[in-house]
């Protein structure tokens, strides 16, 4: 069947059209996305602004035209951190439903981590053994770990690259400010690190999301043009060498880095600090970059459910 996955993220609205079949990897057929930057459209009360809500409604309406043109049989719509944490989420999603007819569900942080873990597990397979997964989004950081397809532990932290950029990097911090930001990040991650560490060092540690992909590219990983099957790694030592350089770069210099889009260049430094903290706190020398993430997890779970229903008498 042809599915449309409508992902309302903290940075981007993304419609991914896939051909999905039981027992097969989801095959991307078409992609349509717009930089909504909802995490940066929150007012002082934590509500999505009128401009942000208008942009969301417009994007969903356009995405539905694309989905119909591409022959989608069904639409799976979901929203993550920016909408989940906003104080007017119900009103915003109500507007979307009224103007487009599309029902968008809101994923909890734990479900976001769980479904991302499922996607990474399917990508690397059972030979990965006990797996740890990290995902830096626009609004939140997801961490999950386990030896099966369902993680033993999965949680979400308010450490997304866009959120940190908005709250701490609207003006460049001085040395003392940077130390405070770094301490805040590490304290948040370390608070529940035992959830993952109690089971020992994972056999394999993976990262997913645009932020991790961009950081890996900066550190020398292959460009996306070489395809998803090329192994890509983010080494901690390389990242540590790059962070001081990133802190010294101007906005225009950051935009010129390989793998960095202009709309997210201001998120690279906070994203790098979160990535470094994850590897340091969990004692990981490197993270393997997985091309599958939350959207693929949503699709895989849907296919699994359809397969179970088909097997029932």
Encode pLDDT of 72-124 as tens digits: 999 999 999 999 999 999 999 999 999 999 999 999 999 999 999 999 999 99
- Are 97 and 117 members of one domain? no
**Residue 294: which of 114, 36, 150 has the closest Cα?**
114
Encode pLDDT of 121-164 as tens digits: 999 999 999 999 999 999 999 999 999 999 999 999 999 999 99
- Are 209 and 279 members of one domain? yes
Is 277's pLDDT higher than 60?
Answer: yes
CATH code, domain carrying 143: 3.30.420.150
Number of domains in the chain: 2
Q: Provide the pLDDT confidence category of residue 313 given band limits of 50, 70 and 90.
A: low
Encode pLDDT of 31-82 as tens digits: 999 999 898 888 889 999 999 999 999 999 999 999 999 999 999 999 999 9
Question: What average pLDDT score do residues 224-239 get?
Answer: 96
DSSP the chain: -EEEEEEE-SS-EEEEEEE--TTS--EEEEEEEE---GGGSB-TTSPBPHHHHHHHHHHHHHHHHHHHHTT-SEEEEEE-HHHHT-TTHHHHHHHHHHHH----EE--HHHHHHHHHHHHHHHH-GGG-SEEEEEE-SS-EEEEEESSSS-SEEEEES--HHHHHHHH-SS---HHHHHHHHHHHHHHHHHTTHHHHTT-S-SEEEEESHHHHHHHHHTTPPPGGG-TTS--EEEHHHHHHHHHHHHH--HHHHHTSTT--GGGGGGHHHHHHHHHHHHHHTT-SEEEEPS--HHHHHHHHHHHHHHHHHH--
Question: What average pLDDT score do residues 263-275 get?
Answer: 96
Encode pLDDT of 216-229 as tens digits: 999 999 999 999 99
**Residue 310: predicted pLDDT:** 45
- Are 124 and 260 members of one domain? yes
Strand order across the beta sheet in which 13-19 lies: 27-34, 13-19, 2-8, 74-79, 105-106
Is 249's pLDDT higher than 70?
Answer: yes
**Residue 42: predicted pLDDT:** 87
Contacts of 109 (CB under 8 A, 6+ apart): 81, 84, 140, 142, 155, 156, 157
Domain assignment of residue 183, given as a range: 109-294
**Residue 21: predicted pLDDT:** 85
**Residue 309: predicted pLDDT:** 42
- Are 97 and 118 members of one domain? no
* Burial of 89: CB neighbours in 10 Å, binned 0-12, 13-18, 19+: middle
- Are 77 and 13 members of one domain? yes
- Are 192 and 205 members of one domain? yes
Q: Check: CB of residue 116 under 8 Å from CB of residue 294.
A: yes
- Are 49 and 137 members of one domain? no
Phi first, then psi, for residue 49 (nearest 5°) are: -70, 165
* Residue 309 maps to a domain: no
- Are 158 and 223 members of one domain? yes
- Mean pLDDT, the chain, rounded, equals 94
- Are 247 and 134 members of one domain? yes
* Residue 299 maps to a domain: no
* Residue 152 maps to a domain: yes
- Are 82 and 113 members of one domain? no
* Residue 304 maps to a domain: no
- Are 145 and 56 members of one domain? no
- Are 51 and 166 members of one domain? no
């Amino acid at each position: 069947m042809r599915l449309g996955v409508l992902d309302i993220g903290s940075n981007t609205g993304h419609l991914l059209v896939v051909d999905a079949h039981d027992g097969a990897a989801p095959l991307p057929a078409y992609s349509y996305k717009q930089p909504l930057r909802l995490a940066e459209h929150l007012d002082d009360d934590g509500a999505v602004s009128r401009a942000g809500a208008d942009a969301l409604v417009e994007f969903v309406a356009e995405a539905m035209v694309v989905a119909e043109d591409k022959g989608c049989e069904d639409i799976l719509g979901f929203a993550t951190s920016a909408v989940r944490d906003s104080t007017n989420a119900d009103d915003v999603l109500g507007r979307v439903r009224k103007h487009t007819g599309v029902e968008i569900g809101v994923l909890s942080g734990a479900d976001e981590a769980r479904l991302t873990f499922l996607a990474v597990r399917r990508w690397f397979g059972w030979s990965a053994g006990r797996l740890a997964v990290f995902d830096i989004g626009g609004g939140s950081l997801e961490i999950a770990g386990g030896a099966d397809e369902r993680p033993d532990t999965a949680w979400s932290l308010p450490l997304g690259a866009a959120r940190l950029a908005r709250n701490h990097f609207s003006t460049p911090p001085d040395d003392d400010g940077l130390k405070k930001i770094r301490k805040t990040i590490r304290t948040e991650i370390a608070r529940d690190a035992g959830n993952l560490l109690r089971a020992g060092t994972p056999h394999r540690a993976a990262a997913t999301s645009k932020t991790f992909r961009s950081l890996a590219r900066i550190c020398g990983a292959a460009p996306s043009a070489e395809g998803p099957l090329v192994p890509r790694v983010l080494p901690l030592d390389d990242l540590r060498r790059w962070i001081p350089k990133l802190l010294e770069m101007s906005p225009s210099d950051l935009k010129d880095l390989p793998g960095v889009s202009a709309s997210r260049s201001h998120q690279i430094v906070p994203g790098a600090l979160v990535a470094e903290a994850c590897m340091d706190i969990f004692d990981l020398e490197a993270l393997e970059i997985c091309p599958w993430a939350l959207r693929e997890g949503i699709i895989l779970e849907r296919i699994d459910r359809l397969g179970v229903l088909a097997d029932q008498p």
